[in-house]
Structure 1
Amino acid sequence: MLCLLTSAASCQSNLLQITSVVLYFRFKMFVHDNYVRGNENIQVPAHLNFGKYILDKIKLRNDEIALENSDTGEKLTYKEFTQYAVNLSTLLTKLGVGRGDTVAVGSEKRNEFVPTVLGIVFTGATYTPYDLKSGRAALKHKLSVAKPKYFICSHTFWTMYSDILKSFDCIHKLFTLDDAMDDGVSIKSLILSDVDVNRFEPASVHGQIDTAFILYSSGTTGMPKGVQLTHLNCILNSLPDDFSDESLKTAFLFGEWYHNYDTFMTYKFLALGRKIVYVNHATPESFLKSVENNQVNIAFVVPSLVGYLSKADDAEKYNLSSLHTIYSRSSPLHSKTIKTVKSRFPKLKNILQGYGMTEAGELTSESWGTKGSKLGSVGMASPGITLKVVDSETRKILGPNERGEICLRGPVFMKGYVGVDPSIYLDEEGFFKTGDLGYYDEDRYFYIVDRMKEIIVYDGYKVAPLELETILQSHPEVYEAGVVGKPVPDYGEEPTAFVVRQPGSNVTEKELIDYVSTEVPPYMQLRGGVNFIEKLPRNPRGKILRHQLRNMLN
């Protein structure tokens, strides 16, 4: 079990020491030799307030650049960033926003996005994101999960989804990041003067139980689940110790601020006072240009981009000498790919891999490795995490080099899914069942073998087959549908459908691909195509036998 201990020294520095205390009760509780623990001596602020934690870091900076849009050249200094967040928080508080409320943000990537999130968190309210490219079906579902009372969106988001937002009675007030819109008030028009940042204090929270973020994680049970992250969860996810190397001055963020990975890597670097560069539409070319133009030192990317660097001839036309480290997560990189990229770009010191999930952040990372990186490994257990590998059938705890399901627990683990009984996803010891198949070696480095769960990973994005099946089956000419991933080089798997038509139907592959494309973001589209079959293979309980569908792809 974990408890919070204070000392005179930690009180003076306003820090709380988290340490593991193992209680040995005869015949009741023992520590298993095959538990794999990350560092358990972690310092976090005693207030356990994520908003205050970040504010105390960023207000120490002034004219240093916090965020830069590499496409447009627009920059936001730390002083401007902090002032914006404090102004917004003060405004929202005056309007009645506070603990117990949920405030949604729907927008494209832009400099205002991150300080808007922090402005919400400063009020004590819960923040939840809605992706511009999420698709209509997923947006409706996520809104029904989090039920936001307030919604802040960009003009672009409003243009695409205003009809959906208007249909949800839970939304009492709409704001826009841009000029005023129908039924929405412009934030810029409401903020009339700057608040004194040095006198501002975020609202008090109960950091171990109050939800700071609701993010979304797809699973095999259908549409995305709402992942509740407490203030303590967010602080632990944002500790920057693994990137404290002062040579890493500028970071490039390939992904979106709706994902756990990209979100908390941003907060790690904000806590360090570093510069974060991003682009509106991430492509290999925009990445290469950003590295060259902004002298990027570390890049947080997806495996397909690393694969591109191993093959593309035009990559060598750019000056990438500033790039010291590439950090990749979401699916394992092949050791040959890593070796090839390092040989092509000799200035590149590290290609690190990590293993994480929305529910618990970074479970393992090569950045925590005590003996350097190991090809094919995703690193060692992260601080505050306890991992075990169990036999998927017997649930016996396994030792080194024995493959089984990876399970986790620790203070970084989420508060829970919105509206889901914990007994569904926790085992008898309180460990979260990840559904991922893997093992660790004698040095306690972890390796991911496969996904026991049915999630498809395309270009770093996780796709729930049942979500696509639900959408396909809403088509009037589809009787039933099954979706699996078709392996493709570099990108992982392409969503591929098997469809049983309604009797007498002649619906075509193109019609169904186009139908799905109107409901989902680009990464969820049926890039693997549609296969028409007479009957879906199912077990006696009616569950689709996906392995048989995958065999049909060969």
Structure 2
Amino acid sequence: MTSSGVITFTGPDPATEPGIGALTFGGFLDELVARFGERPALVSSPSGGRRVEWTYGELRERAREVAKALVAVGVDRATRVGVLMANRPEWIAAVWGAAMAGGVAVPFNTFVEQRELDHLLRHSDVSVVIAQTEFLRHRFVDDILELCPEARTAAPGGIRSADYPFLRRVVRLDGEPTGALQGWDTFVAAGADVPDSVLDGIIAETRPIEDGVIIYSSGTTSFPKGVLHRHRGPMLQCWRHAHREQYTTDDRVYCGLPLFWTAGFAAVLGGTLGSGACLVLPPYFDADDALRLIEEERVTVAQIVGAHDVQLQAAYQRLPRDISSIRRDVHRITGEPAPGGAPRPANQASYGSSETFTSITAIPYDAPIVQRHTYGRLTAGSSIRVIDPETGETHGVGEEGEIILKGPSLMRGYVKVPPEDLFDAEGFFHTSDLGWFDEDGLLHYTGRLSNMIKTSGANVAPLEVEGVLLGHPDIARAVVAGVPDAIAGEIVVACVVTHAGATLTEDDVRQCLRGSLSSFKIPRRILFFSSVDDLPRTSSEKFNLPAVRALAIELLAAEG
């Protein structure tokens, strides 16, 4: 733990870690089929829609069809393939298919507005986009056509755009093909000309150290960062979650998280499949629909975030359903006291991020109660140092500092950012998180050095929201902060200074933001000030963010 005065907390030897299988996307599916064959892998039964059920064998076959189609249109090593769709079976086939074809899957956030999609298409350098036509109020294909008018007239595969210089092809999952927009069935059918032996060769020659997926995660910059992972990290985390969650092949797991989040990807999807259980996959979380699925599909485990608990409890009170199939954490749905009075805290069983593809520390589901208010022990092969953020001096047991880390699930880097800007000379990534280890080797997370807002599991960069607010003609200054909330963890609050004579309401501002920001980034509350002098500032005339946050808390508390 200590070398030359440097204190490092380390996880177990990776050679001792149980339950780890193949560490490529293709190898992962091959191993699942060998073990679970014709068992049900997933069920999709959207309200009012067609029920779809795939076995493990069918899941692999659908992914192989997409992989061969991508090979047929020229995808090869490191070609980037965007996937823009809600939680549905085709999402899994497209993401795995892209990686199995030798490309890099880029699952996009389905909350995106057109402005954000423009950034993702430019920054990711995707050559192919597989998109759902629409989802809720979003019109993805229309947005793509507005951003890239060349796609209206080009032939499939023939897009040439100065704004998106790498983009060549758009595949629409549903709706009629037009221009460069290729229909899903036609796209998949083209792969039939690719021999299985060719795809088998690509999968066999793909190594765990090669690039496999890019996850876009909001950071301290105004736009999301592209977090580039090799095959190894995501697949390792899928196997780990399967072992940690202790599912059985009889479990049916409801997925309440978006699959484009690493938690949805690895913890729910990967953990379920890696166990041979069946994933019950709604397109998005809706409390009433979740209860319907729990009853109809005999769900045994509901994987949800803490913000869902209150919604589920309210829905259950309105219309009770038969949820007797749920075998653990049923109190999160009914609102009744937890057995023993000490439930596992929601979202507090592990510490990690998009950069580590979920957990780098964790506790098992059945950990002793005394451990449940910590973030657990280091995973195998992982290391953390707790340092003084000013001096870099390492701290020991019981001393708080910045968490820096490395390990086998750590990203290769950010897209278009030099690695020397991210990792120190020993390969440690500086997280800007604060925490400390106790004498039992359990991590305690205490907060952020930076000002990132975490609301209902999603990251919001204040700079991005502030930039959009300042585009409003009646707003002179704006500062955004996170305010504690019992359900969401934090809510986004904007403090704005209006120009003289302006008469704005909170609804006016929110309505203006809706076309530019994802719904979770839009401030829940907007506080108005007539002068910048009403907001705390530092000696350098910058907003004093801790003081602004405290002021917002005080004003909201006064409103009751």
Range into which the TM-score falls when normalised by the shorter chain: 0.7 to 0.9
Instruction: Name the structure with the higher helix share.
Output: 2
In structure 1, how many angstroms separate the alpha carbons of the residues matched to 2:424 and 2:499?
A: 41
259-268 vs 390-399, which moves further: 390-399
Amino acid at match of 2:147: I
**Could you say which residue in structure 2 is the equivalent of 1:173?**
169
**Which runs of structure 2 are paired with 1:299-338 in the superposition (5 Å)?**
299-306=302-309, 314=317, 317-325=320-328
1:152 to 112, 126, 130: 130
Contact 1:35 1:386 in 2 (8 A): yes
In structure 1, how many angstroms separate the alpha carbons of the residues matched to 2:250 and 2:543?
A: 47
Q: Which runs of 5+ in 1 are unaligned?
A: 1-21, 328-336
Query: Does residue 112 of structure 1 match 2:90?
Result: yes
Query: Compared with structure 1, are the counterparts of its residues 462 and 174 closer, same or farther at alpha carbon in structure 2 (3 Å cutoff)?
Result: same
Contact 2:243 2:275 in 1 (8 A): no
**Which runs of structure 2 are paired with 1:57-136 in the superposition (5 Å)?**
57-58=32-33, 60-71=35-46, 72=49, 73-136=51-114
In structure 2, how many angstroms separate the alpha carbons of the residues matched to 1:357 and 1:398?
A: 22
Q: Secondary structure at the match of 2:391?
A: coil
**Could you say which residue in structure 1 is the equivalent of 2:398?**
401
Amino acid at match of 2:215: L
Q: Secondary structure at the match of 1:82?
A: helix
What percent identity do the matched residue pairs reach?
24
Contact 2:45 2:52 in 1 (8 A): yes
Q: Secondary structure at the match of 1:256?
A: coil
In structure 1, how many angstroms separate the alpha carbons of the residues matched to 2:5 and 2:73?
A: 50
Contact 1:58 1:273 in 2 (8 A): no
The alpha-carbon deviation at position 462 of structure 1 amounts to 1.2
Contact 2:481 2:545 in 1 (8 A): yes
In structure 1, how many angstroms separate the alpha carbons of the residues matched to 2:22 and 2:247?
A: 27
Q: Which runs of 5+ in 2 are unaligned?
A: 135-139, 150-162, 555-560
The alpha-carbon deviation at position 207 of structure 1 amounts to 3.4
**Which runs of structure 2 are paired with 1:485-524 in the superposition (5 Å)?**
485-502=482-499, 505-524=502-521
**Which runs of structure 2 are paired with 1:388-537 in the superposition (5 Å)?**
388-427=385-424, 429-502=426-499, 505-535=502-532, 537=536
In structure 2, how many angstroms separate the alpha carbons of the residues matched to 1:31 and 1:115?
A: 49
In structure 1, how many angstroms separate the alpha carbons of the residues matched to 2:260 and 2:302?
A: 18
In structure 1, how many angstroms separate the alpha carbons of the residues matched to 2:238 and 2:34?
A: 17
Q: Secondary structure at the match of 1:367?
A: coil
Contact 2:482 2:491 in 1 (8 A): yes
Instruction: Name the structure with the higher strand share.
Output: 1
In structure 2, how many angstroms separate the alpha carbons of the residues matched to 1:247 and 1:43?
A: 18
Query: Compared with structure 1, are the counterparts of its residues 315 and 69 closer, same or farther at alpha carbon in structure 2 (3 Å cutoff)?
Result: farther
Contact 1:463 1:524 in 2 (8 A): yes
In structure 2, how many angstroms separate the alpha carbons of the residues matched to 1:351 and 1:249?
A: 22
2:146 to 157, 160, 163: 163
Contact 1:98 1:123 in 2 (8 A): yes
Aligned CA RMSD, in angstroms, stands at 3.4
Question: Please, what TM-score do these two structures have when normalized by structure 2?
Answer: 0.83
Count of residue pairs brought into register by the alignment = 519
Amino acid at match of 1:256: P
Query: Compared with structure 1, are the counterparts of its residues 165 and 387 closer, same or farther at alpha carbon in structure 2 (3 Å cutoff)?
Result: farther
Amino acid at match of 1:486: V
- Deviation per CA, 1:457-516, whole angstroms, max 9, x where unpaired? 111111111111111122233333210012222111211112233456444433221111
Query: Compared with structure 1, are the counterparts of its residues 533 and 407 closer, same or farther at alpha carbon in structure 2 (3 Å cutoff)?
Result: farther
Contact 2:7 2:385 in 1 (8 A): no
219-228 vs 177-186, which moves further: 177-186
Query: Compared with structure 1, are the counterparts of its residues 139 and 271 closer, same or farther at alpha carbon in structure 2 (3 Å cutoff)?
Result: same
Contact 2:500 2:530 in 1 (8 A): no
1:291 to 277, 291, 294: 294
Contact 2:466 2:478 in 1 (8 A): yes
In structure 2, how many angstroms separate the alpha carbons of the residues matched to 1:31 and 1:50?
A: 40
Question: Please, what TM-score do these two structures have when normalized by structure 1?
Answer: 0.83
Contact 2:291 2:316 in 1 (8 A): no
The alpha-carbon deviation at position 541 of structure 1 amounts to 5.6
Contact 1:83 1:197 in 2 (8 A): no
2:265 to 232, 246, 263: 263
